[in-house]
Amino acid sequence: MRVLIIGAGVGGLCLAQGLRAADLDVAVHERAAAPTEQLASYGIHLDADGCRALHECLPSATWARLDATAAPARDTLRFHDQHLRPLATRDREPAGPPDPVTRRRAVSRDALREVLLDGLTGAGDATGGGGVVRWAKAYTGYERIAGGRLRAYFADGSHTDGDLLIGADGSNSRVRRQYLPELPRLDLGVANIAGRCPLTPEIADQLPAALVDGSVNNVVPPGPGWMFVSTWGAPEGGRAPTWSGRTSPPGTATPRTSNTWPGRACVNWCWTASAAGLPHCAPWSPPAAPPRSRR
């Protein structure tokens, strides 16, 4: 059986690893021209389910590589009001030693993708040949062909045949649009703005402890709008987070440029609101307090 996966994101690559481990013939088609074609690398937290799935699907050497690349992350979820007064805390930090598989981890997206690509790229296939992952293959649609098989088409005019087509092409999936047209993507009028800044000692000193201890924080005011804040730290000896990256156009030899933080930790934040909710953040502010080192 030949399985065609569209999208070399977290889901598509993890699935490809699992199918390969089960000795199935699998090909992943990704629209990006190269693995490095990514604007920025936001950190990602792996919870117990995510770790379990990766442990199940990855070859043991690849799992060991992920384990070494990821940093331990605190399993505490906090909710605050818009003045940073605590509303609720869910603390799932284990009392004893953490489970070696399911313990919560933080990893940069760059590093996670590199690990997930382990063994899936062939020599000299930067633009699509050889390996399980075919780059620069922007999927456009499929049709059913003889023998119950499927044919997938790509923007470069090529096509490929398989027995099963998996849409792992993200939230705006073209596979889903064709296969399940009755399930359109709904615009809820909600916008997400995400960013990060280096966690310098000066910034850490001015932030409340809960925002810099690695826990996941949600600032939830009454009414619309919501903010997520968490710090992210690279493991000792691991890679510092990348804040921007750029690839050259396909076919050019210029190497990727990227920049990393001066320190090894950063604060990630993500603000979610409806357009109408934007003005509501004006009165948000924590209660006035001296910097923590002077308390």
Ligand X SMILES: Cc1cc2nc3c(=O)[nH]c(=O)nc-3n(C[C@H](O)[C@H](O)[C@H](O)COP(=O)(O)OP(=O)(O)OC[C@H]3O[C@@H](n4cnc5c(N)ncnc54)[C@H](O)[C@@H]3O)c2cc1C
Positions touching ligand X (CB under 6 A) are 6-12, 29-32, 42, 44-45, 50, 138-139, 168-170, 174, 194, 270
Q: Return the number of the residue (10 or 115) whose C-beta is nearest ligand X.
A: 10
DSSP codes joined into one string, 106-118: EEEHHHHHHHHTT
SS3 call for 72: strand
For residues 211 and 78, is the Cβ–Cβ distance under 8 A?
A: no
State the minimum distance, in angstroms, from the CB of residue 178 to ligand X: 11
241 touches 43 (CB < 8 A) = yes
Residue spans of beta strands (DSSP E) within the chain: 2-6, 25-29, 43-46, 71-72, 76-80, 86-91, 105-108, 133-134, 139-145, 149-154, 159-162, 164-167, 190-198, 216-219, 226-233, 242-246, 257-260, 265-274
Decide whether 28 or 207 has the Cβ nearer to ligand X: 28
Q: Which is nearer to ligand X, 45 or 264 (CB)?
A: 45
Q: Least distance from C-beta 243 to ligand X, angstroms? A: 14
Q: How far apart are CA 237 and CA 234, in angstroms?
A: 8
Shortest CB 259 distance to ligand X, Å: 19
What's the min distance (Å) between Cβ of 161 and ligand X?
Answer: 17
Residue nearest to ligand X (CB): 9
**Nearest-approach distance from CB 96 to ligand X, in angstroms:** 25
Least Å distance, CB 252 to ligand X, is 20
**How far is residue 202 from each of residues 84, 214, 283, 291, 292, measured CA to CA in Å?**
20, 17, 24, 9, 11
Q: What is the DSSP pairing of strand 105-108 with strand 43-46?
A: antiparallel
**Is the Cβ of residue 63 or residue 271 nearer to ligand X in the bound state?**
271
140/206 with CB nearer ligand X: 140
User: Taking Cα atoms as reference points, which of 108, 112, 133, 95 lies closest to residue 40?
Assistant: 108
Nearer to ligand X, 207 or 216 (CB): 216
Instruction: For ligand X, give the closer residue by CB, 85 or 151.
Output: 151
- CB-wise, 42 or 63, nearer to ligand X? 42
Tally DSSP H helices, then E strands, for the chain. 7, 18
> Shortest distance, CB of residue 51 to ligand X, whole angstroms?
10
Backbone angles phi, psi at 26, to 5 degrees: -135, 140
Query: Quick one: how far is CA 45 from the chain centroid?
Result: 8
For residue 96, give every residue at least 6 positions away whose Cβ sits within 8 Å of its Cβ, in sequence order, or none.
Answer: none
What's the min distance (Å) between Cβ of 53 and ligand X?
10
* Residue 52 backbone dihedrals phi, psi, to 5 degrees: -60, -45
Distance of CA 141 to the CA centre of its chain: 25
